[in-house]
């Protein structure tokens, strides 16, 4: 039943595809990653039953090191805390992922929560992407400090965010970074307004809705 | 603005943290058995040292872990940080 | 339009092919690209650019940099106007308009200058002494003083320009791009370290730019100019080096955080700015640097003598900069007055530029290294002499020179005959102060170095070091060497490179000893019979006599002297005056300067405008806002929104031509009679899982949760550890080891942190995970007698019958086809449900429910109606849970479990919280059932009649206070909740609600706080 219901993004109506801001070659592209399945998993990283169950369901090893991610099979696991992770899948049904993880964990002490609709994911891509986020985020987003695969939670425009360094470009440098910003749904529009206002200086493109 | 080393996330800006007060307190294991004096010490009485002080902070915009921070209240030097559920390494001064 | 009579025919770093037109005090002038406002004014022969703060004396341009004390102007007009802007830092642009400040009616004829005639009646502390009594008259005095003393005007309309912020990170931050800074940047940059170099001027090069040898160009190539150009080119080619021009490092904060102000577009004309509307005018940087190199240079200081503030008296290095860098003669005939060699270089450059040097007055008996060179050029060098007075009014017309006595101490003693020398320019050099401000801000110590008679950086506290003139090293080659060493060391400590950087090479501009030899001359005493003012701090009009008076009155500490005389407290923060003031103080006290000590340097180094501090946090970006999924619907229905924390919540939905209170009362009445819906997505929702979840809940709530069955909800109250109420909400048991907690909107964050604290710190052994799911779920409360009927239409899969789904029950099931959660809980006291659905479907479900409710005349209601409904039902919220009330005060005493420990239990039993005299929650109605009970009214037992509107004493015998009040449309009477001493024993008593603010006292009847349906038949029906 739910499959036929369209999910309405917090940015519905706010995303207007086109090129905006200063003239010249746009310095970055803004878009929203929609219809992601995002599941919050809490558990004991030292408990093999827990880590095995997550690996069994996702095919990925939980990233144990802080501020790192694991990716493969169209899935990404992002480190949140020593006992918390986000499992993110594109093209998978979130309820199935949640149930699958819960079933795989069985009676293991863990907590699984579907948070797909409580998070909005804004993709900021392009050479000036780190400069845009640096307008309101104290994280060091330089490629040396925040390479491909890194993630970090911080504050952006006074809003709590999780930033995922998806790709730092071919040379691993500042060529064409792709940064995903995870934000609580209620703040998504406010953050979008901050980002689009701040991006004017660089010139930016908003990608059409997928 | 302080730079505080979260034991997990590394050095982060102070704005990611919230202050949680004195980090040297332990809730009496059996509050029923605690004397009024012990309880009052736990709930109300706080030292306000000039110099190193052990404090609780929460990495609220980060991993949400509560951490212990030994901070010089006079100079704002951060002398040590660690998880909140165990004693900080090193001496208090 | 006039010519530029003082412009030199050629030379300088200005572009004569780009003439610019500007106005000063309404008059049009012309300058060139590359000018500052100050250089352009000098080129046009404008000498008086402002009036002084206290005495309204005419003032001219003293410096060529950010240390300028006098030439403060009101820049631009309208929303872009900026007071107290230093003409010496304003890059000229086409169409620039500026006005002089602090003059009335004009800078040339200023009525307040009459003050100067009475100035002997205005000693230091004058205002403190004169206007502090009677105290109530201060408000009147102040207006006049402000008018007389004003420092420019604040804008009265909003600034239309953008200001931005950004965070920065680097391995090495270098403040200053003079010889030392550039060398440091090259050394650090070559290691591959991430480097930020910031310099306040529009081009790197520092003091080298002011030297004759650096003017370069095809006609006059120079090694120094080439070195600057090559260095800049190399730095700009390094991907990890950021070179910021027009960027002042203004503050050095904790843990190597530095504040930078980048003036991105201040130098552009309006049409240039218009071409790029997205560019900020200024950008405030907060940079976290692993290591810092301070290459901030040195500032020349004047020598104090009578009339030293006359327009035309300027620092020698400034005069040198004007002739060399800007191609401007600051005068036609100069007298140079110095205690060191550097002013000789200025004299030689002035002469080369066609300025007649009437005399070099050198207080040193033997002169210096360049004295003979000057004499060889025919200059009259008076060694062992001092300028005792400058003559003239709106511009200097000459100086009086006397010999310094052989036996004179550091205070100087003049003797012999007077010699008058005519001139229109006096170039002064009293030595150089290293710019130690940032070092001092970083908690680094400063020490007084007798060799150069100035404060130099001492021990560092943070990861910083100074290099070059900022460290008291003045020769260019040495500055470069020191800079390179400092840059290399900083990079190495940040983890880059370990080989020493190559030593700088190439020829150098000629060097001069900048340090005054022997005891420096700080101030020249009055000539016998002289009475001219000898200014120490020109911006605040503080004289040497003021300092002396303060010392006589006992202000011996530098901090006291500063505050009493206001020395160094103007916008220039005493850049050119502080050290002289200290020296005079030390002389008067017979102490060493080192023993007197320096005042503390604090950020900002130079003024930072409020726009830059605000950045983009204005208008709709002032603070983030949080919106529910149903926000667009509320907006489309004309809801008025109210901020609840960061959330925007619908306050009420007015119909066309409906007044606010009418709308609120209609909504509150309609819910009890029919049905209404309210968006409660803002309530905190915390998912609690784990085998110890019930035990955990037992420990954080006063009541027990172990017996709560799956599929049931329970109301819970949390205390703080001090026994006072923290928050309330419901807990629903979703499954065996899983619960859903709700919190109030206001406390969602604090409750989450509280739970995390106890799980991580107090009871880490408990196997429980808490996850905030507030944002995942949209929450809709539907309340009113028809709520069940509406729900049955959209949630047909759930048996809604009272037996199958009783009050405080919970069911999962589809609502409008969306898998959701339905809770039978009530805040209003009506039959009510709360529906949670995943947020992307929230709007859809809300609309479906509104449509299904159409047959039952459903309405949306806002927070105001919700507040009335809960007040009618006696539910407590923030007004009652105010951090001072115990569970028993609010009527929850019997909920407190005796069988278990919980947070706050021990404290809740202390005598002060179980005292029978505490204030308890009651309801109130006015005895006439008509008069509104004033907000915040005090409760008194005795009638006290009309309470006067102001100045009234607190009503005696206060026994409580109103915490919530409203008109109840359902009872047709005003009602209130209040906390009243022994309130539960007073039901039926008549008390008085007194409001000194509203000026009324209302007799009220005390009653139970539940006004509606005390038996709960409606919500259980």
- Predicted local confidence at residue C94, as pLDDT: 97
- Residue B67 placed within a domain: yes
Question: If you average pLDDT over residues C364-378, what whole number do you get?
Answer: 93
Nearest to B9 among A66, A155, A160 (CB): A66
Mean pLDDT of chain B: 94
- Residue B89 placed within a domain: no
pLDDT tops 60 at residue C945: no
Which pLDDT band holds residue C916 (cuts at 50, 70, 90)? confident
Which pLDDT band holds residue C509 (cuts at 50, 70, 90)? very low
- Predicted local confidence at residue C118, as pLDDT: 63
- Predicted local confidence at residue C749, as pLDDT: 96
Strand partners, C993: C939, C1002
B-C CB pairs within 8 A amount to: 55
Nearest to C760 among B2, B65, B75 (CB): B65
Question: If you average pLDDT over residues C33-44, what whole number do you get?
Answer: 98
- Residue B33 placed within a domain: yes
- Residue B56 placed within a domain: yes
pLDDT tops 50 at residue C950: no
- Predicted local confidence at residue C116, as pLDDT: 63
Query: Is C286 near chain A, with CB under 8 Å?
Result: yes
Nearest to B85 among C254, C760, C907 (CB): C760
Over the stretch A153-202, which tens digit does the pLDDT of each residue have? 999 999 999 999 999 986 544 568 999 999 999 999 999 999 999 999 99
| Residue A138, both tokens | 């104290």
Computed from CA positions of residues A89, A93, A94, A97, in that sequence, does the dihedral angle turn out positive or negative?
A: negative
Optimal mutation site among A65, A153, A182, A187, interface B, most CBs of chain B within 10 A: A153
Which pLDDT band holds residue C867 (cuts at 50, 70, 90)? very high
Question: If you average pLDDT over residues C56-85, what whole number do you get?
Answer: 94
CB contact under 8 A, A201 and C167: no
Nearest to A135 among C165, C288, C646 (CB): C165
- Residue B92 placed within a domain: no
Over the stretch C179-223, which tens digit does the pLDDT of each residue have? 999 999 999 999 999 999 999 999 999 999 998 776 655 455 578
| DSSP label at residue C856 | G
Closest residue by Cα to residue C931 from C880, C831, C839, C999: C999
Question: If you average pLDDT over residues C344-367, what whole number do you get?
Answer: 95
- CA–CA separation, C555 and C821 (whole Å): 74
pLDDT tops 80 at residue C142: no
Are the beta carbons of C810 and C858 closer than 8 angstroms? Answer: no
Residue keyed to tokens 């907000």: C935
Residue keyed to tokens 């986020």: A133
- Residue B88 placed within a domain: no
Over the stretch C244-299, which tens digit does the pLDDT of each residue have? 999 999 999 999 999 999 999 999 998 888 888 999 999 999 999 999 999 999 99
Which residue segment(s) compose the domain that B8 sits in? 3-83
- Predicted local confidence at residue C817, as pLDDT: 95
Are the beta carbons of B63 and A82 closer than 8 angstroms? Answer: yes
Residue C277's closest chain A neighbor by CA?
A22
CB contact under 8 A, B3 and C901: no
Which pLDDT band holds residue A2 (cuts at 50, 70, 90)? very low
Q: Which residues of B make CB contacts under 8 Å with A?
A: 8-10, 12-13, 15-16, 60-65
How many Cβ atoms sit within 10 Å of the Cβ of residue C748? Answer: 22
CB contact under 8 A, C769 and A119: no
Whole-number CA gyration radius for chain A: 17
Delineate the domains of chain A, giving CATH numbers in brackets: 18-34+117-206 (3.30.1360.120), 36-116 (3.30.70.1520)
Which pLDDT band holds residue C997 (cuts at 50, 70, 90)? confident
- Residue B41 placed within a domain: yes
Is-cis flag, bond preceding A203, omega within 30?
A: no
- Predicted local confidence at residue C667, as pLDDT: 98
| Residue C551, both tokens | 């010392």
Over the stretch C714-733, which tens digit does the pLDDT of each residue have? 999 999 999 999 999 999 99
Which pLDDT band holds residue C113 (cuts at 50, 70, 90)? low
Which pLDDT band holds residue C328 (cuts at 50, 70, 90)? very high
Please report, for residues C96, C99, C269, the alpha-carbon distance to residue C266 in angstroms, rounded to integers and kept in the order given. Answer: 11, 17, 8
pLDDT tops 50 at residue C1: no
pLDDT tops 80 at residue A129: yes
| Ordered alpha helix ranges (H), C874-951 | 905-908, 911-914
Chains adjacent to A (≥3 CB pairs closer than 8 angstroms): B, C
- Predicted local confidence at residue C108, as pLDDT: 74
For residue A25, give how far its alpha carbon lies from the nearest alpha carbon of chain C (Å): 14
Question: If you average pLDDT over residues C380-385, what whole number do you get?
Answer: 96
Which pLDDT band holds residue C968 (cuts at 50, 70, 90)? very high
Please report, rounded to a whole number, the percentage of residues in chain C having pLDDT higher than 90: 82
Q: Which residue has the higher pLDDT, C318 or C142?
A: C318
pLDDT tops 80 at residue B49: yes
CB contact under 8 A, C194 and A158: no
Which pLDDT band holds residue C967 (cuts at 50, 70, 90)? very high
Question: If you average pLDDT over residues C658-676, what whole number do you get?
Answer: 98
Range in A72-81, C353-362, C944-953 with the lowest mean pLDDT: C944-953
Range in C242-246, C501-505, C544-548, C747-751 with the lowest mean pLDDT: C501-505
Mean pLDDT of chain C: 92
Question: If you average pLDDT over residues C420-435, what whole number do you get?
Answer: 97
Which pLDDT band holds residue C136 (cuts at 50, 70, 90)? low
Q: Which of residues 442-461 of C touch A (CB under 8 A)?
A: none
Please report, rounded to a whole number, the percentage of residues in chain B having pLDDT higher than 90: 89
E runs forming strands in C181-281: 195-198, 241-244, 247-253, 257-262
Count of domains forming chain B:
1
- Predicted local confidence at residue C218, as pLDDT: 47
- Predicted local confidence at residue C506, as pLDDT: 47
How many CA atoms does the CB half-sphere of C313 hold within 13 Å? 33
pLDDT tops 80 at residue C407: no
Range in C150-154, C235-239, C340-344, C474-478 with the lowest mean pLDDT: C150-154
Residues in chain A closer than 8 A to C279 (CB atoms)? 22, 201
pLDDT tops 70 at residue C104: no
Q: Which residue has the higher pLDDT, C512 or C462?
A: C462
Residue B4's closest chain C neighbor by CA?
C255
C29, with CB counted inside 10 A (0-12, 13-18, 19+), is buried
CA C216 to chain centre: 42
Length of chain A: 210
CATH number, domain with residue B51: 3.30.2270.10
pLDDT tops 70 at residue B92: no
CB contact under 8 A, A2 and C819: yes
Over the stretch C57-70, which tens digit does the pLDDT of each residue have? 999 999 999 999 99
Q: What is the DSSP string of C31-88?
A: EEET-BHHHHHHHTT----EE-TTT--EE----SSTT-SS-EEEES-GGG-EEEEETT
């Amino acid at each position: 039943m739910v499959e036929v219901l369209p999910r309405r993004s917090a940015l519905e109506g706010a995303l207007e595809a086109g090129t905006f801001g200063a003239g010249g070659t746009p310095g970055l592209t803004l878009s929203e990653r929609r219809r992601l399945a995002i599941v919050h998993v809490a558990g004991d990283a030292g408990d093999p039953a827990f880590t095995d169950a997550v690996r069994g369901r996702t095919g990925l090893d939980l990233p144990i090191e802080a501020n790192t991610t694991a990716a493969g099979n169209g899935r990404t696991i992002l480190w949140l805390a020593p006992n918390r992770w986000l499992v993110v899948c594109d093209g998978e049904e979130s309820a199935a992922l949640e149930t699958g993880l819960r079933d795989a964990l069985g009676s293991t002490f863990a907590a699984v929560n579907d948070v797909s609709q409580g998070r909005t994911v804004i993709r900021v891509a392009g050479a000036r992407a780190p400069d845009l986020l640096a307008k309101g985020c104290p994280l060091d987003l330089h490629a040396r400090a925040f390479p491909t695969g890194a993630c970090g939670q911080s504050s952006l425009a006074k809003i709590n965010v999780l930033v995922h360094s998806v790709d730092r470009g071919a040379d691993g440098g500042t060529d064409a970074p792709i940064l995903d910003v995870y934000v609580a749904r209620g703040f998504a529009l406010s953050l979008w307004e901050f980002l689009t206002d701040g991006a004017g200086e660089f010139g930016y493109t908003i990608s059409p809705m997928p | 603005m302080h730079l505080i080393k979260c034991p997990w996330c590394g050095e982060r800006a102070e704005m990611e943290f919230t202050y949680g007060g004195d980090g040297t307190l332990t809730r009496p294991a059996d509050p029923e058995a605690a004397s009024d004096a012990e309880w009052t010490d736990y709930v109300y009485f706080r030292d306000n040292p000039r110099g190193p002080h052990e404090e609780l902070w929460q990495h609220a915009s980060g991993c949400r872990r509560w951490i212990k921070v030994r901070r010089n209240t006079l100079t704002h030097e951060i002398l040590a940080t660690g998880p909140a559920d165990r004693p900080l390494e090193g001496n208090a001064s | 339009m006039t010519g530029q009579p003082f412009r030199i025919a050629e030379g300088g770093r200005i572009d004569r092919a780009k003439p610019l037109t500007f106005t000063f005090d309404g008059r049009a002038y012309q300058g060139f690209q590359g000018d500052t406002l100050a250089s352009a004014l000098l080129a046009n022969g404008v000498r008086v650019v402002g009036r002084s703060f206290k005495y309204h004396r005419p003032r001219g341009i003293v410096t060529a940099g950010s240390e300028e004390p006098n030439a403060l102007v009101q820049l631009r007009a309208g929303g872009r106007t900026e007071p107290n802007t230093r003409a010496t830092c304003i890059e000229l642009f086409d169409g620039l308009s500026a006005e002089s400040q602090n003059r009335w009616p004009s800078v040339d004829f200023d009525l307040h200058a009459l003050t100067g005639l009475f100035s002997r009646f205005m000693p230091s502390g004058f205002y403190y002494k004169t206007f502090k009594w009677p105290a109530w008259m201060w408000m009147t005095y102040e207006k006049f003083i402000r008018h007389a003393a004003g420092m420019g005007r604040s804008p009265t309309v909003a600034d239309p320009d953008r200001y931005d912020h950004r965070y920065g990170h680097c391995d090495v931050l270098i403040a200053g791009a003079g010889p030392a800074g550039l060398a440091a940047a090259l050394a650090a940059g070559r290691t591959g370290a991430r480097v930020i170099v910031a310099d306040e001027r529009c081009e790197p090069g520092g003091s080298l730019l002011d030297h004759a040898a650096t003017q370069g160009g095809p006609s006059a190539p120079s090694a120094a100019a080439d070195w600057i150009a090559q260095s800049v080119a190399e730095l700009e080619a390094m991907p990890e080096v950021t070179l910021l021009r027009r960027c002042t490092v203004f503050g050095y904060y904790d843990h190597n955080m530095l504040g930078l102000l980048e003036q991105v577009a201040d130098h552009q004309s309006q049409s240039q700015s218009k071409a790029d509307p997205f560019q900020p005018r200024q950008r405030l940087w907060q940079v976290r640097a692993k290591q810092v190199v301070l290459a901030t240079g040195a500032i020349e200081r004047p020598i104090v003598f009578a009339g030293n503030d006359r327009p035309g008296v300027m620092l020698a290095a400034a005069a040198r900069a004007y002739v060399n860098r800007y191609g401007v003669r600051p005068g036609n005939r100069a007298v140079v007055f110095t205690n060191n060699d550097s002013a000789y270089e200025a004299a030689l450059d002035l002469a080369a530029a066609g300025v007649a040097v009437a005399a070099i007055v050198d207080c040193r008996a033997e002169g210096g290294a360049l004295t003979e060179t000057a004499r060889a050029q025919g200059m009259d060098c008076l060694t062992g002499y001092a300028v005792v007075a400058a003559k003239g009014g709106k511009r200097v017309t000459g100086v009086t020179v006397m010999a310094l006595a052989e036996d004179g101490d550091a205070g100087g003693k003049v003797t012999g005959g007077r010699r008058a020398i005519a001139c229109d320019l006096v170039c002064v050099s009293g030595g150089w102060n290293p710019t130690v401000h940032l070092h001092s801000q970083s908690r680094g110590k400063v020490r007084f170095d007798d060799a150069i008679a100035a404060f130099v950086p001492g021990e560092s506290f943070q990861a910083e070091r100074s290099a070059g003139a900022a460290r008291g090293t003045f020769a260019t080659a040495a500055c470069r060497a020191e800079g390179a060493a400092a840059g290399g060391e900083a990079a190495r400590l940040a983890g880059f490179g370990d080989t020493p950087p190559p030593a700088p090479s190439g020829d150098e501009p000629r060097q001069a000893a900048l340090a005054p030899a022997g005891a420096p001359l700080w101030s020249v005493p009055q000539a016998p019979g002289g009475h001219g003012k000898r200014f120490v701090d020109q911006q605040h009009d503080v004289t040497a006599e003021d300092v002396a008076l303060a010392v006589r009155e006992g202000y011996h500490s530098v901090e006291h002297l500063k505050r009493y005389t206001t020395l160094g407290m103007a916008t220039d923060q005493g850049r050119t005056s502080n050290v002289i003031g200290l020296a005079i103080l030390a002389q008067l006290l017979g102490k060493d300067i080192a023993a007197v000590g320096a005042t503390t340097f604090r950020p900002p180094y130079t003024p930072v405008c409020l726009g830059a501090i605000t950045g983009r946090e204005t208008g709709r970006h002032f603070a983030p806002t949080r919106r529910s999924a149903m926000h667009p619907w509320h907006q489309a229905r004309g809801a008025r929104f109210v901020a609840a924390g960061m959330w925007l919540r619908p306050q009420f939905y007015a119909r066309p031509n409906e007044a606010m209170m009418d709308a609120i009362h209609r909504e509150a009445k309609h819910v009890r009679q029919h049905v209404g819906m309210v968006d409660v997505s803002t309530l905190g929702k915390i998912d609690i899982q784990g085998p110890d979840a019930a035990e955990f809940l037992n420990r954080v709530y006063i009541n027990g949760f172990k017996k709560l069955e799956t599929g049931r909800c329970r109301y819970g109250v949390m205390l703080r550890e001090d026994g006072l109420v923290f928050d309330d909400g419901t807990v629903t048991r979703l499954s065996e080891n899983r619960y859903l907690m709700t919190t109030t909107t206001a406390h969602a964050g604090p409750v989450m942190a509280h739970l995390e604290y106890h799980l991580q710190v107090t009871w880490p052994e408990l196997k429980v995970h808490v996850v905030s799911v507030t944002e995942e779920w949209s929450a809709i409360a539907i309340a009113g007698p028809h709520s069940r009927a509406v729900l049955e239409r959209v949630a047909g899969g759930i048996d809604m019958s009272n037996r199958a789904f009783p009050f405080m029950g919970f069911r999962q099931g589809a609502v409008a086809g969306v898998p959701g959660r339905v809770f039978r809980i009530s805040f209003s006291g009506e039959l009510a449900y709360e529906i949670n659905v995943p947020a992307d479907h929230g709007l859809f479900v809300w609309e479906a429910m509104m449509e299904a409710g159409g047959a039952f005349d459903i309405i949306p209601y806002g927070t105001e109606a919700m507040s009335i409904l809960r007040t009618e039902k006696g539910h407590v919220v923030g007004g009652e849970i105010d951090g001072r009330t115990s569970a028993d005060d609010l009527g929850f005493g019997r909920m407190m479990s005796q069988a278990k420990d919980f947070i706050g239990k021990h404290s809740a039993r202390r005598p002060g919280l179980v005292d029978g005299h505490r204030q308890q929650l009651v309801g109130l109605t006015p005895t006439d059932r008509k008069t509104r009970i004033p907000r915040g009214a005090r409760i008194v037992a005795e009638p006290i009649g009309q309470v006067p509107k102001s100045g009234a004493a607190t009503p005696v015998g206060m026994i409580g206070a109103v915490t919530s009040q409203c008109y109840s449309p359902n009872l047709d009477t005003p009602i209130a909740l209040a906390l009243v001493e022994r309130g539960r024993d007073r039901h039926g008593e008549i008390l008085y609600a007194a409001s000194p603010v509203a000026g009324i006292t209302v007799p009220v009847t005390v009653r139970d706080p539940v006004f509606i349906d005390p038996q709960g038949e409606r919500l259980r029906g």
